[in-house]
C-alpha cells in the first residue's frame, strides 16, 4: 500500500497524473486528494457535506462517523477523533480547502513531505515522492547511519538520506492549504505518569486486547514470532484469546545456555490450537548477512538500516507465513521499551521517589558493578536535552563507553566506527550540533520517557522499513506494542511501578495475568544471540570482504576501506564489536543496490 496526499489546488491535477496509480479519492472540489495503490478494505472514507475524513490502515471503521465529522469546527478539532482510535493508521481530512495528514506517533505509519511543482506534497513513503521528483543523496545523513548503536539519535533518526524529503515530526500532523503551503502542529504528548501498577496494568490490558481485536478483524489467520521471550509470547496468547487462527515461528538459538526454546515450547503447549513451527538454529537465513542485495533493488528508499543483515531471515519467514495462509505477522517490537528498563530509568527513579527509588538504583549499581562515585555523578547530572546532544556529538569519535560506568543522559552515546574518515566524523558532529540548536525540546521532560519514546521511534521505523522491503510478498509485519493507545497506557504508569521492586517487566506481567498462564509469567530473563552474529560473520566473511573492494563509501570519502577490511578479519571478542561492521555493511550494500547517481569521484560530506 502506498499513497500520496495533494493539496486542494489546481496544480495538483498535473502531479497526480504522473503517479499512474490505481486508486484516487478527491477533495469535495473534485481535485485529486489521495492518490495511490491500496486494497479497498484498508481505507475508510467518511463524508459530511463538503468535509471528508479518510482512515488508512488498521482501526475499527465504526469508530469514525459522519455525525462526528460534521461537528468538527476545524482541522485542529480532529485531535479528539485521532486520540480515541485504536490500532495503527494514517488519518487524513479535507475541510474547507485545507488538508490534515498524520501517521502513528512512533512512525510505523509515517508522513514524508517534498516540494513538487512549488507546492508541498505528502506521502506515506519516500518511494512515491522520488517518482514525482528526482532528489539527490544527502551524504551527511548517510554518514550518520554509520553511528552505532542504532544510527543517528532522535530527532535525526526518522530523516531519510535524501535531500529534499522531510519526515513529519513525532507527535505532529501536517497541514496543506489550498495554495500548496504547509506547516506542522503538535497534536500528541505523553499523558502524565500517574497510574499505579494495578491501574496501568488494566489500561495496558485493555489497549492490547483492543489492538489484537483490530488485527483479527482485519485477518482471521495471523502468524507470529514465538521466540520464548515475554513480549512475543504475550502477543501469541492475546491473539489466541481474540480468536485468531494462529501460526507461530520459533528459531532455535545456537547457544545452549539460551533458554528461549524451553520457554517457547512451554508456551506452545498452552496453545494447542495453534500451528507451531520451529526453525533450525543454523539455517543460512539466520545469519549475519551482506545486507541489501542486487536481487531486491531499491528495497529501502529511506536509506540503510542495520537490520538489513537480517533481511534473508525476514524474507524467508515472510514466504513461510504467507504460504501457510497468513497476511499479517505479529512481532514483539516495542516491548522492551515499554516494559523494560531504560538507561535513564535510574535517573528518573531517584527523582520521583528518592528513598525507594535509590534502593532500586543501588540494586542496578551492584548488578552492573558501577562505582558509587560514577553512579552519584550520573544521578546528579542536570544537563538539558540540547546540552546532552552536544556532548554526545563531541564524543562520537571517542572510544566506546566503559561498561562499568553508568550513563543516565538523555541520548544513548553513539560512536562512529574507527574506520570512518575525519571528514565523515566532522560532518556528523556538525549535524548533531545543528540538531541540538534547532530542536531544544525533548520528547518528554522525563529522561526515561524521552529515551523510551526515542527508542520506540527507532522500532517504528524498523517495522515500516521492513514492510517496504516486503512489498509484494503478500504479508505485513505488525507490532501492536507500537500502537498509540498501548504506548499511552504503558508510559502513563509511574516509573517506580513499571520497575516495581526490580521485577522483570512487572507492568506487562500484570497486564496479561490470566491470559498467559502463570508458569509462563515466571520467566525473568531474555535470550542472548551473539553466537548467531559471530557464526554469520564467519560464514559470510568472504562476501563481506568483497564490499571493501571498490567501496562506494570510500569514494564518498566516508570510510577507510583497509581499516574496515581489517575489522572484518579481526572483529574482536564481544558482540558489540560487530555493530559497527553491521552498520557499514548496511550502508555499503545500500549504495550498491539503490538507484542513486553513480559515484565517480571522492566527495566530502557537508
- The rounded percent of the chain whose pLDDT value lies above 90 is 73
Mean of the per-residue pLDDT values of the chain: 92
- Answer whether residue 14 is part of any domain: yes
In a domain, 77, yes or no: yes
The answer to whether residue 408 is domain-embedded is no
209 neighbors 222 (Cβ within 8 angstroms): no
Decide if 248 contacts 277 (C-beta within 8 A): yes
Sheet bearing 88-95, strands edge to edge? 43-48, 51-58, 88-95, 98-102, 172-176, 182-186
Taking 50 as the threshold, does the pLDDT of residue 364 lie above it?
A: yes
Give Cα 546 to chain centroid, integer Å.
30
How large a percentage of the chain has pLDDT more than 70?
A: 98
Nearest to 226 by CA among 258, 262, 256: 262
Domain annotation covers residue 546: no
Beta-bridge partner residues of 54: 45, 92
pLDDT for the residue 526: 80
Q: Is the pLDDT assigned to residue 469 strictly greater than 70?
A: yes
Instruction: Look at the chain and count its residues.
Output: 606
The 3-state DSSP class for residue 423 equals: helix
Which residue do the cell numbers 504503558 mark? 490
What digits encode the pLDDT tens for the residues 47-81?
A: 999 999 999 998 887 777 888 888 888 999 999 99
pLDDT score recorded for residue 350:
85
Res. 596 pLDDT band, cuts 50 70 90: low
pLDDT of residue 110: 98
pLDDT grade, residue 502 (50/70/90)?
low
∠534-540-545 over CA atoms, to 5°?
110
Confidence of residue 236 (pLDDT cuts 50, 70, 90): very high
| DSSP H helical ranges for 404-505 | 422-438, 447-469, 484-491, 495-498
Place of cell 538454529: 281
Q: Is the pLDDT of residue 460 over 80?
A: yes
With beta carbons less than 8 A apart as the criterion, state whether 559 and 427 touch.
no
Range from 24-33, 219-228, 502-511 carrying the lowest mean pLDDT: 502-511
Does residue 363 register a pLDDT over 60? yes
- Residue 214 lies inside a defined structural domain of this protein: no
Query: Which pLDDT band, with edges at 50, 70 and 90, does 599 fall under?
Result: very low
Alpha-carbon distance of 286 to 532, in angstroms, equals: 7
Rounded Cα distance between 398 and 429, Å, is 12
pLDDT band of residue 554 (cuts 50, 70, 90) is very high
Q: What whole-number distance in Å separates Cα of residue 566 and Cα of residue 418? A: 11
> What is the CB-side half-sphere exposure of residue 328 using CA atoms within 13 A?
23
**Domain range enclosing 119:** 2-136+160-186
What pTM was estimated for this model as a whole?
A: 0.94
CATH number where 96 lies = 3.60.20.10
Answer whether residue 457 is part of any domain. no
Q: CA 570 from chain center: how many Å?
A: 31
Q: What is the pLDDT of residue 604?
A: 53
pLDDT given for residue 248 in this prediction? 98
pLDDT number for residue 58: 87
Query: What's the pLDDT band for 417 if we cut at 50, 70, 90?
Result: very high
Q: Is residue 62 part of a domain?
A: yes
Interatomic CA distance for residues 372 and 529, integer angstroms: 31
Mean pLDDT in residue range 130-147: 96
Neighbour tally for 518: CB within 10 Å: 9
How much is the pLDDT for 605? 64
The Cα–Cα gap between 161 and 307 comes to 16
Is residue 598 over pLDDT 50? no
- Grouping H, G, I as helix, E, B as strand and the rest as coil, residue 279 is strand
Domain contains 351:
no
- Number of neighbours of residue 570 by Cβ within 10 angstroms: 9
pLDDT for the residue 575: 73
Nearest to 497 by CA among 605, 352, 380: 352
Domain count, the chain: 1
CA distance 454 to 447: 10
- DSSP annotation of 559 reads B
Amino acid at each position: 500500500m502506498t499513497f500520496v496526499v495533494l493539496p486542494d489546488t489546481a496544480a495538483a491535477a498535473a502531479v497526480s497524473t504522473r503517479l499512474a496509480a490505481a486508486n484516487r479519492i478527491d477533495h469535495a472540489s473534485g481535485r485529486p486528494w489521495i492518490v495511490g495503490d491500496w486494497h479497498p478494505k484498508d481505507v475508510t472514507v467518511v463524508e459530511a457535506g463538503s468535509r471528508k475524513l479518510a482512515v488508512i490502515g488498521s482501526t475499527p471503521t465504526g469508530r469514525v462517523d459522519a455525525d462526528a465529522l460534521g461537528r468538527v469546527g476545524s482541522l485542529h478539532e480532529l485531535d479528539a477523533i485521532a486520540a480515541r482510535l485504536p490500532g495503527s493508521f494514517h488519518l487524513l481530512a479535507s475541510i474547507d480547502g485545507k488538508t490534515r495528514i498524520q501517521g502513528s506517533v512512533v512512525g510505523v505509519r509515517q508522513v514524508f513531505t517534498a516540494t513538487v511543482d512549488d507546492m508541498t506534497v505528502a506521502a506515506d513513503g519516500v518511494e512515491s515522492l522520488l517518482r514525482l521528483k528526482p532528489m539527490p543523496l544527502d551524504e551527511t545523513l548517510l554518514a550518520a547511519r554509520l553511528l552505532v548503536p542504532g544510527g543517528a539519535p532522535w530527532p535525526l533518526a526518522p530523516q531519510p538520506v535524501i535531500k529534499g524529503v522531510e519526515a513529519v515530526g513525532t507527535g505532529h500532523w501536517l497541514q496543506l492549504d489550498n495554495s500548496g503551503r504547509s506547516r506542522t502542529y503538535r497534536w500528541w504528548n505523553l499523558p502524565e505518569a500517574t497510574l499505579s501498577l494495578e491501574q496501568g496494568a488494566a489500561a495496558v490490558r485493555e489497549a492490547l486486547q483492543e489492538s489484537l481485536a483490530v488485527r483479527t478483524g482485519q485477518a482471521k489467520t495471523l502468524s507470529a514470532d514465538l521466540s520464548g521471550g515475554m513480549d512475543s509470547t504475550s502477543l501469541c496468547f492475546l491473539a489466541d484469546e481474540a480468536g485468531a487462527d494462529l501460526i507461530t515461528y520459533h528459531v532455535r538459538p545456537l547457544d545452549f545456555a539460551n533458554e528461549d526454546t524451553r520457554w517457547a515450547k512451554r508456551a506452545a503447549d498452552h496453545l494447542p490450537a495453534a500451528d507451531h513451527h520451529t526453525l533450525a538454529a543454523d539455517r543460512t537465513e539466520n545469519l549475519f548477512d551482506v545486507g541489501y542485495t542486487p536481487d531486491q533493488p531499491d528495497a529501502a528508499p529511506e536509506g540503510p538500516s542495520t537490520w538489513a543483515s537480517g533481511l534473508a531471515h525476514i524474507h524467508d519467514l515472510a514466504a513461510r507465513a504467507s504460504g501457510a495462509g497468513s497476511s499479517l505477522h505479529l512481532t514483539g517490537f516495542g516491548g522492551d521499551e515499554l516494559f523494560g528498563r531504560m538507561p535513564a530509568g535510574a535517573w528518573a527513579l531517584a527523582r520521583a521517589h528518592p528513598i525507594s527509588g535509590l534502593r532500586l538504583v543501588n540494586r542496578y549499581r551492584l548488578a552492573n558493578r558501577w562505582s558509587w562515585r560514577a553512579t552519584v555523578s550520573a544521578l546528579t547530572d542536570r544537563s538539558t536535552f540540547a546540552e546532552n546532544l552536544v556532548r554526545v556529538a563531541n564524543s562520537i569519535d571517542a572510544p566506546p563507553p566503559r561498561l562499568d560506568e553508568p550513563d543516565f543522559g538523555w541520548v544513548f552515546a553513539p560512536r562512529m566506527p574507527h574506520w570512518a574518515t575525519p571528514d565523515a566524523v566532522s560532518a556528523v558532529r556538525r549535524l548533531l550540533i545543528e540538531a541540538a540548536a534547532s530542536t531544544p525540546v525533548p520528547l518528554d521532560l522525563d529522561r526515561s520517557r524521552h529515551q523510551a519514546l526515542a527508542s520506540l521511534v527507532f522500532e517504528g521505523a524498523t517495522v515500516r522499513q521492513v514492510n517496504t522491503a516486503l512489498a509484494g510478498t503478500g504479508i505485513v509485519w505488525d507490532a501492536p506494542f507500537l500502537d498509540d493507545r498501548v504506548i499511552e497506557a504503558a508510559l502513563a504508569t509511574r516509573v517506580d511501578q513499571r520497575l516495581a521492586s526490580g521485577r522483570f517487566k512487572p507492568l506487562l506481567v500484570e497486564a496479561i495475568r490470566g491470559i498467559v498462564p502463570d508458569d509462563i509469567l515466571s520467566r525473568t530473563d531474555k535470550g542472548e544471540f551473539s553466537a548467531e552474529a559471530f557464526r554469520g560473520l564467519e560464514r559470510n566473511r568472504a562476501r563481506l570482504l568483497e564490499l571493501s573492494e571498490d567501496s562506494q563509501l570510500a569514494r564518498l570519502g566516508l570510510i577507510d576501506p583497509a581499516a574496515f577490511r581489517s575489522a572484518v578479519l579481526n572483529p574482536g571478542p564481544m558482540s558489540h564489536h560487530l555493530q559497527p561492521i553491521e552498520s557499514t555493511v548496511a550502508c555499503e550494500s545500500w549504495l550498491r543496490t539503490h538507484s542513486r547517481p553513480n559515484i565517480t569521484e571522492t566527495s566530502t560530506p557537508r
